[in-house]
Amino acid sequence: MILNLLRALWSYRYFLVTSIMADFRNRVLRSRLGFLWIILAPLSQVLIYAFVLSNLMSQRLPGIDSSFSYAIYLMSGFQAWLLFSEIITRSITVFIDNGNVLKKISFPRTILPIVVISTSLITNLIFLALVIITFTLVGFPLGWNLLWLPVMMVINTAFAAGIGLVAGILNVFIRDIGQLTPILMQFLFWFTPIVYTINILPEAFQKIVMLNPMFWIIDGYHRVMVFNEAPLNGPLMVIFGLSLVILGLAFWLFRKASPEMVDAL
Amino acid sequence: MSHVVMNVSGLGKVFRRYSHELYRVLRWFGIKAPIAEERWVLKDISFEVLSGQALGIVGRNGAGKSTLLKLITGTMRPSAGAVTIHGKIAAILELGMGFNPDYTGRQNVFHALGLMGHQHAEIAATLDDIAGFSELGTYFDQPLRVYSSGMHMRLAFSVATAFRPDILIVDEALSVGDAYFQHKSFDRIKAFQKEGTTLILVSHDRMALLSLCDRAILLHNGAVAKDGDPEAVLDYYNALLSDASDASIETRELSDGRIQTSSGSKKVTIEAVSLVNARGDSVDTLDVGESVTIRVRTRVHQPVDNLVLGYSIKDRFGQTLYGTNTHYTAQSLEHVLPGDVFDFSIAFEAHFGEGSYSVALALVGGENHIGDNYEWRDLALIFSVANLSRPTFDGKLFLPSTIAIEKLEG
């Protein structure tokens, strides 16, 4: 079963590459600034938060020895959040967006989420390059613990893909999910210490935020990128396990939904 | 030798509607949730297709043709039964291959063929061929949204037929595009057929079906209503089109193995049909250009407001060469009563080439048989034409001409 899937994916490897390339080309094709837009959108978000909140936040970042401390904190948080949110938002519509192809050509459908995850990862790596360049420019040292970053990305991707695919499959049949998700994402964003630090929250509230898996993922990114520490293994292992369970559910749901998917598209 | 390339057994497809879609999801988890509505669009379809066969699928809109094709290609999954395919299958479904309007023609070729499971190198090798066959010129490198529907179809056809499949499925696509490209695509399909490709064609185009297919299946209300020789199936389908509630369809095998179809409400019936020559003798073989008369005796069983007799003379492939009716000639009969018997004599000169011809007759209430159809009879008469007195010529039509030759030099 899994073996068949892998074999199918292997025979579709070139397709995967050309789709990813086409996806990027497509996003930048009709614009003047082209590739820059992929960076500019998230960057402007970071700049806005840095500008609006830096005075409010700068006093409260112990352990960072830089006048750009808040911007650095913000960027590492966004490094995690952007990957998470891009995978989720694109997974939700992946089957609907490709409805036309699904109705006309018979092919292994698992290829579609894989294209989504791959392109999201590539965008994220481009953003990472930008972050590293910025850190270097402002003279902020990157430590050896940055080597943990790939691990963090795997956990983050697994978690996002699991949730995104479950929602994406259900969204084919129940379109409310596509409408609801952006709202939930807004809540999640503000319930996660990305633009603020957890210690500005009241004690009782901190405990609630800690129940949010995204808190631990973002925290891992912060440790690895900002504080040059190893991430906290315990909670992250739990989240990774949870992600695998959700991915399993997504896979099972996909097999159940697959025969009826084209009927509803 | 031909072998079975496709086996459809007990195929069925049901579309279920739920009062809430959540019930659908609950059913995946094994919970018995209520179904609001079940609609079987296909039920218990079984047939086999042999290699090299050309199968036409006909039926009214909503008869389940497109669903059947989607099940065969595998984009849709059956609710019952199975389709077994031996070999590679390529399909052009409902105009297009799921192309992305923002990609260029070239990118779409890679995308679509990639999805069909072809490797990058294979696609690259055939790219020139596709660009050449589709004749898109510089449009090949422009995004698809600037294409006309004809260009879109040309690209789709070129992509679907870039590699010779074992089974080629064409859904209506051939009716789009100009006559030139239609010929080109017909030629390619015929070349594939010669090499052993099985063709499955869905079309409302009688000419395409008769000239390409050697077998046809009529789908009606989600079931196979007829399976056999294209001419007979198309005649039956034609009769079905006038499907008034009081109509009945009868088929009868003629001595030459062809199938005569008649249908209608039988308010007025055809009693006798004959073909007679100038001396009044009944004939079935005519000389080119001979004067003949088709005699049709009709009897009225129930009063009708309007009675029109129509006829058409068809060639061996079932294509109409000439046809008209008494509505067009302003001779329709009004207010006929039970017991009335009418004799119609249709006199004409048989300006046909050598070959076999048939006459279809229709007793209807108006201009066509879709309204009131009293009796429609295909293959009501069969006659052949032999050239006994004219210089040799080719074709289905006799157009006597004079050829003048002038010597100018030498």
Q: Same domain, yes or no, for B158 and B285?
A: no
Q: Same domain, yes or no, for B311 and B215?
A: no
Q: Is residue A4 part of a domain?
A: no
B207 vs A188, which has greater pLDDT? Answer: A188
Chain A residues whose CB is inside 8 A of the B93 CB are: 103-104
For chain B, the domain total comes to: 2
Q: Counting Cβ atoms within 10 Å, is residue B392 exposed (0-12), middle (13-18) or buried (19+)?
A: exposed
Provide the b/e sequence for A216-255 (b: ≥16 CB within 10 Å). Answer: bbbbbbbbbbbbeeebeeebbeebbeebeebbeebbebbe
Task: Give the pLDDT of residue A161.
Answer: 92
Start-to-end CA distance of chain A, whole Å, equals 26
Mean pLDDT of B42-58: 86
Q: Is residue A26 part of a domain?
A: no
For chain A, the domain total comes to: 1
How far is the alpha carbon of B74 from chain A, nearest alpha carbon, in Å?
A: 5
Please give the residue range of the domain that contains residue B348. Answer: 261-386
Task: Give the pLDDT of residue B21.
Answer: 76
Is the pLDDT at B280 greater than 80? The verdict is yes
Q: Is residue A28 part of a domain?
A: no
CATH code of the domain in which B359 resides: 2.70.50.60
Put simply, the answer to whether A259 touches B114 (Cβ < 8 Å) is no
Strand partners of residue A157 = none
Is A170 in CB contact (< 8 Å) with chain B?
yes
Closest chain B residue to A261 measured between Cα atoms? B76
* Interface test mutation site (partner A, options B66, B85, B100, max chain A beta carbons within 10 A): B100
State the SS3 of B311-349.
EEEECCCCCEEEEEECCCCCCCEEEECCCCEEEEEEEEE
- Taking only the tens place, the pLDDT of each residue in B259-269 is 777 777 888 88
- Taking only the tens place, the pLDDT of each residue in B385-404 is 888 888 888 888 888 888 99
CB-nearest partner of B111 from A19, A106, A260: A19
pLDDT band at B1 (very low <50, low <70, confident <90, very high): low
Q: Same domain, yes or no, for B64 and B193?
A: yes
Q: Is residue A76 part of a domain?
A: yes
The residue whose two tokens read 């080119």 is B288
One-letter identity of residue A147: L
- Taking only the tens place, the pLDDT of each residue in A231-253 is 888 888 898 999 999 999 998 88
Is B112 in CB contact (< 8 Å) with chain A?
yes
Task: Give the pLDDT of residue B245.
Answer: 46
Q: Is residue B170 part of a domain?
A: yes
Is the pLDDT at B27 greater than 90? The verdict is no
Quote ipTM for the complex: 0.71
Q: Same domain, yes or no, for B267 and B207?
A: no
Task: Give the pLDDT of residue B95.
Answer: 58
B242 vs B169, which has greater pLDDT? Answer: B169
Please give the residue range of the domain that contains residue A224. Answer: 52-264
Q: Tell me the count of A-B CB pairs closer than 8 A.
A: 85
Cβ neighbours around B39 below 10 Å, total = 10
CB A104 within 8 A of CB A2: no
CB B12 within 8 A of CB B42: yes
CB-nearest partner of A14 from B74, B75, B114: B114
State the SS3 of chain B.
CCCEEEEEEEEEEEEEECCCHHHHHHHHCCCCCCCCEEEEEEEEEEEEEECCCEEEEECCCCCCHHHHHHHHHCCCCCCEEEEEECCCEEEECCCCCCCCCCCEHHHHHHHHHHHCCCCHHHHHHHHHHHHHHHCCHHHHHCEHHHCCHHHHHHHHHHHHCCCCCCEEEEECHHHCCCHHHHHHHHHHHHHHHHCCCEEEEECCCHHHHHHHCCEEEEEECCEEEEEECHHHHHHHHHHHHCCCCCCEEEEEECCCCCEEEEEECCCEEEEEEEEEECCCCECCEEECCCEEEEEEEEEECCCEEEEEEEEEEECCCCCEEEEEECCCCCCCEEEECCCCEEEEEEEEECCECCEEEEEEEEEECCCCCCCCEEEEEEEEEEEEEECCCCCCCCCCECCCCCCCCCCCCC
Q: What are phi and psi of B33, to 5 degrees?
A: -100, 150
Is the pLDDT at B107 greater than 50? The verdict is yes
Both structure tokens of A35: 């590739």
Q: Same domain, yes or no, for B209 and B315?
A: no
Mean pLDDT of B9-24: 81
Q: Is residue A32 part of a domain?
A: no
Among A157-161, A198-202, A204-208, B312-316, the least confident range: A198-202
Is B67 in CB contact (< 8 Å) with chain A?
no
- Taking only the tens place, the pLDDT of each residue in B352-376 is 988 888 888 888 887 665 667 888 8
pLDDT band at B293 (very low <50, low <70, confident <90, very high): very high
CA distances B165 to B112, B126, B208, Å, are: 15, 14, 20
Task: Give the pLDDT of residue B246.
Answer: 47
Question: Could you give the CA distance from residue B405 to residue B410 in angstroms, rounded to a whole number?
Answer: 14
Is A47 in CB contact (< 8 Å) with chain B?
no
Q: Same domain, yes or no, for B189 and B325?
A: no
How far is the alpha carbon of B48 from chain A, nearest alpha carbon, in Å?
A: 21
Q: Same domain, yes or no, for B91 and B226?
A: yes
Chain B residues whose CB is inside 8 A of the A257 CB are: 28
Is A132 in CB contact (< 8 Å) with chain B?
no
Is B70 in CB contact (< 8 Å) with chain A?
yes
A107 vs A129, which has greater pLDDT? Answer: A129
pLDDT band at A62 (very low <50, low <70, confident <90, very high): low
Closest chain A residue to B156 measured between Cα atoms? A104
Q: Is residue B34 part of a domain?
A: no
Q: Is residue B19 part of a domain?
A: no
Task: Give the pLDDT of residue B186.
Answer: 77
Is the pLDDT at B22 greater than 60? The verdict is yes
Q: Is residue B236 part of a domain?
A: no
Is A173 in CB contact (< 8 Å) with chain B?
yes
Chain B residues whose CB is inside 8 A of the A28 CB are: none
Q: Same domain, yes or no, for B163 and B270?
A: no
Mean pLDDT of A62-88: 82
- Taking only the tens place, the pLDDT of each residue in A154-179 is 999 999 999 999 999 988 888 888 88
Chain A residues whose CB is inside 8 A of the B74 CB are: 106
Closest chain B residue to A29 measured between Cα atoms? B102
Q: Is residue B38 part of a domain?
A: no
Q: Is residue A252 part of a domain?
A: yes
Query: What Rg value do the Cα atoms of chain A yield, rounded?
Result: 19
Q: Which of B274, B355, B260 is nearest to B316 (CA)?
A: B355
Both structure tokens of B268: 């007025």
Q: Same domain, yes or no, for B290 and B166?
A: no
pLDDT band at B3 (very low <50, low <70, confident <90, very high): confident
Is B19 in CB contact (< 8 Å) with chain A?
no
Q: Same domain, yes or no, for B297 and B175?
A: no
Q: Is residue A8 part of a domain?
A: no
Q: Same domain, yes or no, for B195 and B138?
A: yes
Is B77 in CB contact (< 8 Å) with chain A?
yes
Cβ neighbours around B281 below 10 Å, total = 9
Q: Is residue B90 part of a domain?
A: yes
Is A12 in CB contact (< 8 Å) with chain B?
yes
Q: Same domain, yes or no, for B195 and B277?
A: no
- Taking only the tens place, the pLDDT of each residue in B319-365 is 888 999 898 888 888 888 888 889 999 999 989 988 888 888 888 88
Task: Give the pLDDT of residue A164.
Answer: 93
Centroid of chain to Cα A76: 13
